[in-house]
Structure 1
Amino acid sequence: MARPRQALLTRERIVEAAAGLIDAEGIDACSMRRLATELGVQGPSLYNHFATKAEIVDAVAEAVVAQVDISGFQDTDWREGLRLWAKSYHAVLSAHPNIVPVLATGPGRRPAGLAMAEAVFGALVDAGWSRARATHIGALMRYLITGSALGSFALGFEDDPGLYGRYPHLHRAHELAAHRDAVDEGAFELGLDLLIDSLSDRYDQGVRR
């Protein structure tokens, strides 16, 4: 009998498998050997598509950023564009937290990352912000978004009431983990509101440099 045909190995299959490993176990788990096993192929066959693990991780980062919605900059005021983009970016990174350290270093040569930077920067400059200030705003937004996805503030506290007995203002800190979404998402939303409101005030006052 003829052997069943093996599914064609493509860059897309490799990236999809690598993304699954990274999401589940972190970047360190995504070795070339482990990835080949997951795909049911011999290790050397991966090198026909990617020269190194770093290239694969970079491709995963590109695929994640490609999920971010930047269309809000097309038909809305820059304030609403920033808000819609930030929420989308935050949601995407929150779904893929293990790739955030790679994305936090910047877009590099990744087309989706550069397209996102172009959309944000372009919208701000077109709205009248100076190029220098638009750069600052873009960086500040990225600090908020990637920082909020790097780790959970709520999970930084132990579920142990006795641990906080000597700290009178932290006597309910052990409850934070049980309310992770409300704490972490609430903090992001507050930060985003304050940031955009502050920028809006400066913009309306004509302080755009």
Structure 2
Amino acid sequence: MPAEPRRARGERAGLTRERILDAAVELVDREGLKALTMRRLGAALGVEAMTLYHHVPNKDALLDGLVERVFAGAAPVDDAADGWRPWLRAYAGALRAALLRHPGVLPVAAARPAVTPAALDAVERGLRVLTSAGFPLGRALHALNSLTLLVVAHATAECALTTADGPGSAADLAARDPGRYPLTVETARTGAGTDDAERFAFAVEALIAGFGAAATPEAGA
């Protein structure tokens, strides 16, 4: 009877890279990015920290995996049969939703580029959608990066909102001098232009309209 193939320690522990990344996201969601260490992550998975290195070689690879988990899951996998505009809308909406679900990942998403194969697959899908619609490759990358930066920045701002009555809040602005700030006070009192989802959709539509106008006649048609 042939001997059973010898398994590595990480395999014996039932670990996979995907399971490790999921646990890392959960840890960051629960305790913040500063809590993410190989020792803490190993403890959460019931293994020693050294066991994790069979799947993620170092802390940088772990952080890259967090970026992958958020961005790869946001890029639609369809072939944009309805056009590049709906594809970009879907991408922006899914990425915002993912970032708001995992706000602890925001500092990593804002600072680290997509470098893992799965994250680059998501980038490639976006570039393929835009170049197939007539965008030159360089402008396709500009468009994808610009939209991504908008989403990350908007989600960051949403997660850093002031308290209900703190400086810059609606209550604070509504109490300002209406003679000097009539329009600002009106927005605070009526809520006009203060809805996050509405602002996000407006900004995405403005960007998409600009992309079409600045790309090529074919892409803007």
The two structures have a TM-score, normalised by structure 2, of 0.74
Aligned equivalents of 1:52, 1:138: Cα separation in 2 = 29
- State the match for 2:141 in structure 1: 135
Matches within 5 A, 1:54-69: 54-69=60-75
What count of residue pairs does the alignment treat as equivalent? 199
Relative distance call for 1:159 and 1:139 in structure 2 (3 A) is: same
Mapped contact 2:134–2:218 kept (Cα < 8 A): no
Matched, 1:187 2:199: yes
Relative distance call for 1:154 and 1:107 in structure 2 (3 A) is: closer
Matched, 1:42 2:48: yes
1:109-132 deviations in Å (ceiling 9; x for gaps): 212221121122222222112223
Mapped contact 1:68–1:88 kept (Cα < 8 A): yes
In the alignment, structure 2 segments of 5+ residues that lack a partner are 1-11
1:5-40 deviations in Å (ceiling 9; x for gaps): x95233333222111011122211111221122122
Mapped contact 2:67–2:114 kept (Cα < 8 A): no
In the alignment, structure 1 segments of 5+ residues that lack a partner are 1-5
Counterpart amino acid of residue 40 in structure 1: G
Counterpart amino acid of residue 25 in structure 1: E
Aligned equivalents of 2:203, 2:172: Cα separation in 1 = 31
Aligned equivalents of 2:20, 2:62: Cα separation in 1 = 8
Matched, 1:165 2:175: yes
Relative distance call for 1:159 and 1:73 in structure 2 (3 A) is: farther
Aligned equivalents of 2:59, 2:155: Cα separation in 1 = 23
Relative distance call for 1:167 and 1:98 in structure 2 (3 A) is: farther
Question: 1:45 deviation in Å?
Answer: 2.2
- State the match for 2:208 in structure 1: 196
Mapped contact 1:61–1:102 kept (Cα < 8 A): yes
Aligned equivalents of 2:104, 2:133: Cα separation in 1 = 34
Mapped contact 1:32–1:43 kept (Cα < 8 A): yes
The two structures have a TM-score, normalised by structure 1, of 0.77
Aligned equivalents of 2:123, 2:201: Cα separation in 1 = 21
Aligned equivalents of 1:24, 1:198: Cα separation in 2 = 39
Q: CA RMSD in A?
A: 3.2
